[in-house]
């Protein structure tokens, strides 16, 4: 979400960064980011015309004012401070240390740098976290995690590896218990079948549905709208059998792809065909993942 009304762009031509806390220069009246807020950082056009009582040290980046007790100019005070820092090597070393991020000079001299053990470099407070300076230790940690994961998977596969014959699912045709074309069986099925109440009675097709291997449900009597396509019926059966259906993202030859089979000849039904064109009431259909089992009829 863009918020163009918040913040200002740095008016330094070489920067133009968007800063949400811009700083206005009291001399040239232009607005700058935090990195270029000081007059010397943005080459202020009015810096040379003002009565400078402060000057920025090029070592510690602090503003220095000539002490009132000594008759020294501001430039002389800077030279004196540099001399003192030179005479104290430890102090000079600490003050001269910069953030390892290129172009960053935000190390606070009162706090000092923060040392990162992962990459053995010094950073300012803003870049002290490994994620802030893209520490090489992060990449090494990710590689170690991946190696542990692969080793664990290999150990599990070796421990629980076994070979077994694929389970054979036997599909039985629906018995016709009466001599009048199964009318008694159909009447019994209508009293037990599940389906949507919104389907008109005249449009209902009653089918025996067998759920795939892995489903906790057994075969059920279900009615569908005969005008529905096979693909629509497949989705409904998958929901009914509580089976994970990923046909919308799987390729046509993927072994995990669900197919609807007509029993007992085990032909795959065309998903674009309507149910009334390929099936009739009292038929049996099987929902199964293609290629995952071997089917037999008896």
Structure-token pair, residue 98:
């910069």
Q: How far is CA 79 from CA 34, 68, 93, in A?
A: 27, 16, 17
What pLDDT shows up at residue 4?
A: 58
Other Cβ atoms less than 10 A from the Cβ of 171: the count is 20
- Cα(24)–Cα(33) distance, integer angstroms: 9
85-133 pLDDT, tens per residue?
A: 555 444 444 445 678 888 887 777 777 788 888 888 888 888 888 888 8
- Architecture of the domain whose range is 1-50: Irregular (4.10)
What pLDDT shows up at residue 176?
A: 39
Question: Which contacts (CB < 8 Å, 24+ apart) does range 124-129 have?
Answer: 124/99, 127/99, 127/100, 127/101
- Cα(132)–Cα(206) distance, integer angstroms: 64
The gap between the terminal CA atoms of the chain, to the nearest Å, is 63
What pLDDT shows up at residue 216?
A: 78
28-42 pLDDT, tens per residue?
A: 889 999 889 888 889
- Cα(123)–Cα(268) distance, integer angstroms: 65
> What's the CATH number of domain 169-297, 3.40.50.1370, 3.10.20.90, 3.20.20.70, 1.20.1740.10?
3.10.20.90
- Cα(97)–Cα(90) distance, integer angstroms: 11
| DSSP H or E segment with residue 238 | helix 230-240
Ordered by start, the domain boundaries in the chain are: 1-50, 169-297
Contact 170, 298 (CB under 8 A): yes
**Which residues lie across from 65 on neighbouring strands?**
54
- Overall average pLDDT of the 255-268 stretch: 85
128-187 pLDDT, tens per residue?
A: 888 888 888 888 888 888 889 888 888 888 887 655 444 444 444 444 344 455 788 888
Confidence of residue 289 (pLDDT cuts 50, 70, 90): confident
Burial of residue 255 (CB within 10 Å: 0-12, 13-18, 19+) is exposed
What pLDDT shows up at residue 166?
A: 47
Burial of residue 74 (CB within 10 Å: 0-12, 13-18, 19+) is middle
Query: Percentage of the chain surpassing pLDDT 70?
Result: 72
């Amino acid at each position: 979400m863009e918020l163009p009304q918040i913040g200002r762009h740095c008016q330094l031509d070489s920067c133009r960064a968007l800063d949400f806390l811009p700083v206005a220069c009291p001399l040239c009246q232009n607005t700058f980011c935090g990195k270029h807020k000081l007059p010397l950082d943005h080459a202020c056009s009015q810096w040379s015309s003002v009565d400078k009582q402060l000057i920025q040290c090029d070592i510690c980046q602090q503003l220095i004012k000539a002490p009132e007790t000594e008759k020294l100019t501001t430039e002389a005070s800077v030279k004196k401070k540099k001399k003192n820092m030179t005479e104290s090597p430890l102090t000079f070393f600490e003050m001269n240390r910069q953030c390892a991020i290129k172009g960053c000079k935000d190390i606070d001299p009162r706090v000092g740098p923060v040392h990162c053990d992962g990459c053995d470099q010094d950073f300012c407070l803003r870049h002290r976290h490994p994620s802030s300076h893209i520490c090489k230790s992060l990449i090494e940690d990710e590689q170690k995690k991946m190696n542990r994961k692969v080793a664990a998977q290999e150990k599990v596969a070796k421990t629980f590896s076994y070979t077994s014959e694929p389970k054979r699912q036997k599909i039985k045709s629906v018995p016709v218990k009466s001599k009048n074309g199964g009318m008694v069986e159909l009447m019994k099925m209508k009293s037990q079948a599940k389906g949507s109440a919104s389907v008109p009675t005249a449009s209902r097709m009653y089918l025996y549905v067998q759920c795939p291997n892995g489903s906790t449900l057994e075969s059920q009597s279900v009615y569908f709208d005969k005008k529905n396509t096979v693909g629509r019926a497949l989705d409904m059966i998958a929901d009914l059998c509580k089976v994970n259906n990923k046909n919308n993202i799987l390729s046509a030859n993927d072994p995990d792809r669900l197919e609807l089979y007509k029993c007992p000849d085990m032909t795959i039904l065309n998903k674009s065909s309507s149910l009334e064109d390929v099936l009739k009431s009292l038929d049996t259909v099987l929902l199964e993942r293609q290629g995952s089992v071997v089917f037999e009829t008896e």
